[in-house]
A = this chain, B = another copy of it.
């Protein structure tokens, strides 16, 4: 789709905040593909606002290292897409609601809402998102596309407006898991400016070299997710995905995840995010023109909370991290819903539990893949999530392909 066609169709959707395709580098393995970039990731010559009024008018002078890396692979960078204000939230409704291409009037999710919507609308083959507690996977789920959050450290966060360095990840959305993996793979690498970034292990790829043999693979269904309340269409999809893996010969069993309580753990993560975001963006708190009252209140909360409260949150996060690693001691991957619900209408109150199933992978630094799954009721799609051992992106992609095969 050329830029004029995108612009015409996007008038009703509000996905692109800045649409100005750049000539691609010649050659490269991704030369046939187009890329949309979340507006908190620097692209040379384009604005980077992170959805914050305070950052309006900022233009990046150079690419974030992850963008520079994928650019070298020959993608055409189309522009910058909508996101939830400051990456702290999952509706993507400001300055005007970004529409879910699957059902206008509904949210595409967030915070990488524009990234999910750009792929779902067919505007871009690939879309860079960021994911602090699910911000790549939730919009992937709501928009019916694939979303891949890598192992912590694999994609450098330099040149990305930070929210919470302890939990922030850069990830990739695309129509298929393989496309998302191809794009993700092109962004991996160490960068000196991100202290947590690390070289990929020797021989690492996100794209599986050959189809995964599902027979004998051990899949864990996390008991705390089994015990949680989810929308019936989500439960049905999860059951169906588990059944499909069983049919393919996987050993699918419930696994305990000691110390992980989806809602309290997610709230502990939010407390850490609020404190870290306050430390990074303190100047915005007192400036009514810088951000919405809600965003500034969240940061003020993080600024003012006591050491004891934050320490207790850290204890809870350490428990959940340990529990996730122990669950993976018993299996090759975890299968659970991406979000407890499907997309909902803009304007309806966002459910508190949107990130309940996603946060654990950020907390534990584990790779996680959101895979769309048709809903039994024929409505908006559901989504299931695979979570793997560190650097096992390719296994997740292979399992997702086995799950999606006709």
Interface residues of chain A, those whose CB is within 8 Å of chain B, are 165-166, 192, 194-199, 258-259, 271-272, 274-276, 278-280, 282, 301-312, 314-315, 318-319, 321-323, 325, 329
Q: How far is the CB of A31 from chain B (nearest CB, A)?
A: 32
Q: Are A304 and B302 in contact (CB under 8 A)?
A: no
Contacts of A301 in B (CB 8 A): 307
Contacts of A197 in B (CB 8 A): 322
Residue from the set A259, A304, A322, A323 with the largest chain B CB neighbour count within 10 Å: A322
| Complex-state Cα separation, A263 to B258, whole angstroms | 37
Contacts of A323 in B (CB 8 A): 195
Which of B195, B278, B310, B329 interacts with A199 by CB under 8 Å?
B329
Q: How far is the CB of A259 from chain B (nearest CB, A)?
A: 5
Q: Are B195 and A318 in contact (CB under 8 A)?
A: yes
Chain B residue with minimal CB distance to A271?
B307
Contacts of A271 in B (CB 8 A): 307
Given A307-B304, A310-B310, A311-B279, is A319 in contact with B195 using a C-beta cutoff of 8 Å? yes
Given A192-B258, A304-B306, is A198 in contact with B311 using a C-beta cutoff of 8 Å? no
7 pairs from A and B in contact (CB 8 Å cutoff): A196-B321, A278-B307, A280-B311, A302-B307, A302-B311, A305-B307, A310-B311
Q: Are A305 and B306 in contact (CB under 8 A)?
A: yes
Which of B192, B198, B258, B303 interacts with A307 by CB under 8 Å?
B303
| Complex-state Cα separation, A304 to B194, whole angstroms | 30
Q: Are A318 and B276 in contact (CB under 8 A)?
A: no
Q: Are B322 and A195 in contact (CB under 8 A)?
A: yes
Contacts of A306 in B (CB 8 A): 303-307
| Complex-state Cα separation, A326 to B227, whole angstroms | 41
Q: How far is the CB of A272 from chain B (nearest CB, A)?
A: 8
Q: Are B322 and A275 in contact (CB under 8 A)?
A: no
Please list the 4 inter-chain residue pairs (A to B) with the smallest Cβ-Cβ separation, ordered nearest first. Answer: A195-B322, A275-B307, A279-B311, A275-B311
| Complex-state Cα separation, A192 to B314, whole angstroms | 18
Which of B195, B198, B259, B275 interacts with A308 by CB under 8 Å?
B275
| Complex-state Cα separation, A106 to B131, whole angstroms | 53
Q: Are B192 and A308 in contact (CB under 8 A)?
A: no
Q: How far is the CB of A274 from chain B (nearest CB, A)?
A: 7
